[in-house]
Chains A and B, each alone.
Chain A
């Protein structure tokens, strides 16, 4: 193995996840300690900790290319894993690693660049006859061209930023009289958000499913796919729950879409792990959306149904090894569901709810895998994402996976912040979700309520409020403090104690 020591240019659960595999492969790891999270859990998994707490630069170190290269050189790490987010899809960073003789665990800078630019990616897809939502061939120059192009495609259309992602800079236009105005807004927005005003237009597909294919390619030109992930449960383009496989695909469609995904990856000589995203409409027509040139948050569901460690594959490919799997070796077995447990207030429109985790207990059943970078005492800080843990549950089929998921959700115990748990508890009980009958519009259109509570929960909460009122106002005798295991106590005192954390 050429790779001896990996600098993890990331934090949180993905840093923990990468280090776990590195350890199994007997490769050392370097983690960066930051002033924002000096006691973070991921630091405990590293062989070497680089102390960057003195650095008070405005940008997070995980976005600071020069600094990360310097850290790698100083700590003698001969490879860098970028994780997801931050610099994972930054072609310049990948090139900088190569220039400094550091192995970048990811695809080539060229592939990152081509797939990162939506206009170039579209052109490549078009050249390879990958089905796409009809759209402009390249960027749109001005309002007049926008109106003409949209007329040709047919409304509704969507304006997208060429350099965009994550739903930002997108505008849906339903009638031609709005086109001019929306084009100008979208272009301005794109310039503000991505420093690039170029936009293009596509046919807008109403209520599709979001289906993505996991790709693995090596540096010898072999590319395979590891089946699909169903990611339609999303809110404002933020995925909340993913599963593998998808109820919407049969063997034939899986092969057809998988072949297309492999073809588009081959078109950019892709190596490492990557994801090709498609929209699937109700008539089972699919359209290429984009390719993500990184490991994804939802990669565990694919690992469970294929039995392949994707981080290990990334490392082996970066090491120059040939893929040991052929397409026919890939067998999907069972069903996996991932719930993203975030520190968000479901009852307040999923608003982030940062805070310190005071109690944390996760199910330990064999059907459950928990990927987390958070432990008791950890803070969910506003400067990073709101993820607490990924709860990944498997079953022999979807029905069993759902049953296990419901059980596991009831066992998760997190105190200190509000979480997305009530959302998932509702979701797994929802008839349409159980039937697999949902699209990307599910959360906005099919849900009357974003959370689940059983019949008596509100009454029990009312009892507690009443008890508190009695203790505060009517009870003359001082409530005894008895803070031993399982003893009754006044929640007031507990609350005060909690606030001291």
Chain B
């Protein structure tokens, strides 16, 4: 195990929008932008709690969730979700993806007939798995229809105050 660890030279943080950030190991306290290295520090104190110090400015950070290699981080009050991958796990992911034939899209369909009350999904915006994209009223209940995956909304095919049938396409998401 220790040998495996030593072999890891790089880590990748993949954002929910599939942006890739790579970091060499051992992890440095600097980030290179253009030709300059900038110091980045994680600190904490009583007044502010944990923060990142970057270019003489403090940014609040909080960890919202973490599970295995997946992290939801609140940075300057904005939530980001990353999975951290090693070169091996990243390679494995790629292989798995190509085998699946590139299921790059996810579709949100109406689980039952009803009326669209609200559409939170906006074309071009990012969604997290489990985030409500549409509110569907059926059986006198307002049901939150959630995104099945992290991704970017590429098409919204429903409008508020319209009726939909079961399995009607509501939202299309690019993974």
Contacts and interface: CB of A to CB of B under 8 A. Distances in A.
Interface of A: 345, 347-349, 351, 358-359, 361, 413-415, 418-419, 421-422, 448-451, 453, 456-470, 473-474, 476, 483, 485-489, 491-492, 494-495, 498
B132 A348 contact: yes
Contact of A460 (B40, B46, B125): B40
Interface string B19-52: 1010101110001010000001111111111101
Contact of B44 (A422, A451, A457, A494): A494
A489 B44 contact: yes
Given A422-B76, A468-B66, 12 more contacts: A351-B132, A453-B78, A460-B75, A462-B82, A464-B42, A466-B23, A466-B27, A473-B69, A474-B5, A476-B2, A489-B43, A492-B63
B175 to A, nearest CB: 18
Interface string B74-98: 1111111010100000000000000
B59 interface: yes
B142 interface: no
Contact of A418 (B11, B27, B79): B79
Contacts of B112: none
A279 to B, nearest CB: 21
Q: Which bracket fits the contact residues of B? A: 35 or more
Contacts, number: 148
Contact of A415 (B40, B46, B49): B49
B113 interface: no
Nearest to B51: A413
B149 to A, nearest CB: 16
A460 B52 contact: yes
Nearest to A178: B161
Contacts of A448: 122, 124-125
Contact of A419 (B13, B40, B61, B77): B77
A474 to B, nearest CB: 5
10 contacts: A347-B128, A415-B60, A451-B78, A453-B78, A458-B19, A460-B31, A463-B13, A466-B21, A466-B23, A488-B41
Contact of B61 (A347, A450, A464, A485): A464
B19 to A, nearest CB: 7
B154 interface: no
Given A349-B120, A415-B62, A463-B21, A491 B50 contact: yes
